[in-house]
Structure 1
Amino acid sequence: MKLVLFDCDGTLVDSAAIIHSSMERTFDEAGFQTPDLVQTKSVIGLSLEIAIARMLEREIDEQINHMANRYRHHSQLMRSAQDCHEPFYDGVWELLDALRQVDEILIGVVTGKSRRGLNNLLAKHDLGSAIISTRTADECPSKPHPAMVMECCAEAGVDPSRTIVIGDAVYDMQMARNAGATAAGVTWGYCDKETLQEAGAHHIVEEPAELMPIIGALAQEGQEPCATS
């Protein structure tokens, strides 16, 4: 068996607009200068408290925790609106559908989203039956800690050497490396190719369809991960 673990925001769906708007409201409410979109994108994928603390260049404290809770409030309101739009990237749905047809491939999600946020997304798109293992920022240490990957591997009964982590962020590549899994970076999200290479990506793709042969050639158990493409 092979395990394919997807990041969510910036990899499966484009949620930057909602995340950034929630950050703007949170920072403005707390009396801080609102971040620009580049700042917001740079922390997407991290656990919320860590992301806000990094944007403010300080340690997590009581105010950071309060801001994180206010962010969750704003985000929930925005996502409950009828016009909320978190579109799947072009070609991603087709990739998921193709992977579901292969018996030896299991699919999971490892994300900085909250458990509620991920469950709502999977339910909205009827993906619950296709995803066999998920971990969120509510259950595990923030990326790049390998816990999300290691726990999904244990749950699926698949060794990390037979696992590929697909993501758009530095933290995804580092998490995969830390877990001993293959790291595949995607350029349609919030990070550029050069940065993904520096973060240790074994592969970098520009289109979802390019992932199928990489997954098919996933390293056998006990082998070293493949070289950077």
Structure 2
Amino acid sequence: MKDAPLRLALFDVDGTLSDSQEHICAAMTGAFAAAGLPAPEAEAIRRIVGLSLPVAIARLAPEAGPEVQQTIFDAYRQAYFTQRQSAPAPLFAGAAQTLARLDAGGAWLLGVATGKSRRGLDHLLEYHDLERFFVTRQVADDHPSKPHPAMALAALAAAGVAPENGVMIGDTTFDIEMGRAAGMRTIAVSWGYHPVAALEAAGPDQIVNDFAALEAALAEMARDMAQGMMQDAGDDER
């Protein structure tokens, strides 16, 4: 009998684990003001959450030149840094408890793939005492923006997990598209920043409405992966 395969549950952060909408919208509004531009609507800002910051700004200000976009970029980073000095964005209720149960359960390795910077991610995880849960942390500093699969593929490689034994969990279409492009299963969460209709169109394996449903979906996927391995082992013996 083969050993059980390693499995990776790869989490997005903003909109999935952390409710950072207020911080992101305030920082982006201030950044556009610093560049002398009217602020985008909150819904437009929510639609770019998950993208790397330069890509997000280019989408929000497509007619602005490189210098103006750089001004927005610098002002946003400074505004977000200033905000988090008081307190980073809160976690969604149940997020920390779910991570703790998954970590203790042993069925999954846990990882992060986020459009945040490394500095921002490290500060958030340290503040909420989540650092110990994640065997891999992939950030925007090191990869092309989602939905490019580089971030997910790097997480799988770092964890030593085959794509078919990984699942990407996120609240945006970018997360689902990235996971699918990397050959992973995908779970969309409905409590984040992209509408459920958009998530459905992206084609996730499942959409869940709370952390209890997420844990149940992961347990079901772990069983499916184990059954698939047993089937493969039986085929090999024949």
Residues 117/175 of structure 1: CA separation in 2 closer, same or farther (3 Å cut): same
Residue 35 (structure 1) aligns with: 40
More helix by share: 2
Q: What secondary structure, in the 3-state scheme, does the structure 1 residue paired with 2:39 have? A: coil
Residue 29 (structure 2) aligns with: 24
Residue 131 (structure 2) aligns with: 128
Give the Cα–Cα distance (whole angstroms) in 2 for the partners of residues 180 and 61 of structure 1.
Answer: 35
Residues 60/90 of structure 1: CA separation in 2 closer, same or farther (3 Å cut): farther
Residue 118 (structure 2) aligns with: 115
Give the Cα–Cα distance (whole angstroms) in 2 for the partners of residues 129 and 87 of structure 1.
Answer: 18
- Residue 220 of structure 1 and its aligned partner are, at CA, apart by 2.8
Matched, 1:69 2:67: no
Give the Cα–Cα distance (whole angstroms) in 2 for the partners of residues 110 and 200 of structure 1.
Answer: 19
CA contact (8 A) 2:19 2:91 kept: yes
**Aligned residue type for 2:165:** R
- Residue 60 of structure 1 and its aligned partner are, at CA, apart by 7.3
Residue 8 (structure 2) aligns with: 3
Give the Cα–Cα distance (whole angstroms) in 2 for the partners of residues 6 and 60 of structure 1.
Answer: 34
The alignment's TM-score, normalised by the length of structure 1, stands at 0.91
- Residue 30 of structure 1 and its aligned partner are, at CA, apart by 0.4
Residue 195 (structure 1) aligns with: 198
CA contact (8 A) 1:49 1:60 kept: no
Q: What secondary structure, in the 3-state scheme, does the structure 2 residue paired with 1:217 have? A: helix
Matched, 1:144 2:144: no
Give the Cα–Cα distance (whole angstroms) in 1 for the partners of residues 220 and 66 of structure 2.
Answer: 45
Across the aligned residues of Structure 1 and Structure 2, the Cα RMSD in angstroms comes to: 1.8
1:45 is aligned, of 30, 43, 50, to 50
Residue 99 (structure 2) aligns with: 96
CA contact (8 A) 1:53 1:60 kept: no
What runs of 5+ residues in structure 1 fail to find an aligned partner? Answer: 224-229
Q: What secondary structure, in the 3-state scheme, does the structure 1 residue paired with 2:141 have? A: coil
CA contact (8 A) 1:50 1:60 kept: no
Structure whose CA Rg is larger? 2
CA displacement 1:166-200 (0-9 Å, x = unmatched): 10001001001110101110011111221101012
Identical counterparts, % of pairs:
37
**Aligned residue type for 1:117:** G
Residue 185 (structure 1) aligns with: 188
Q: What secondary structure, in the 3-state scheme, does the structure 2 residue paired with 1:112 have? A: coil
The alignment's TM-score, normalised by the length of structure 2, stands at 0.88
CA displacement 1:12-48 (0-9 Å, x = unmatched): 0100101111000100110111112111101000000
Give the Cα–Cα distance (whole angstroms) in 1 for the partners of residues 102 and 195 of structure 2.
Answer: 25
Residue 209 (structure 2) aligns with: 206
Residue 231 (structure 2) aligns with: none
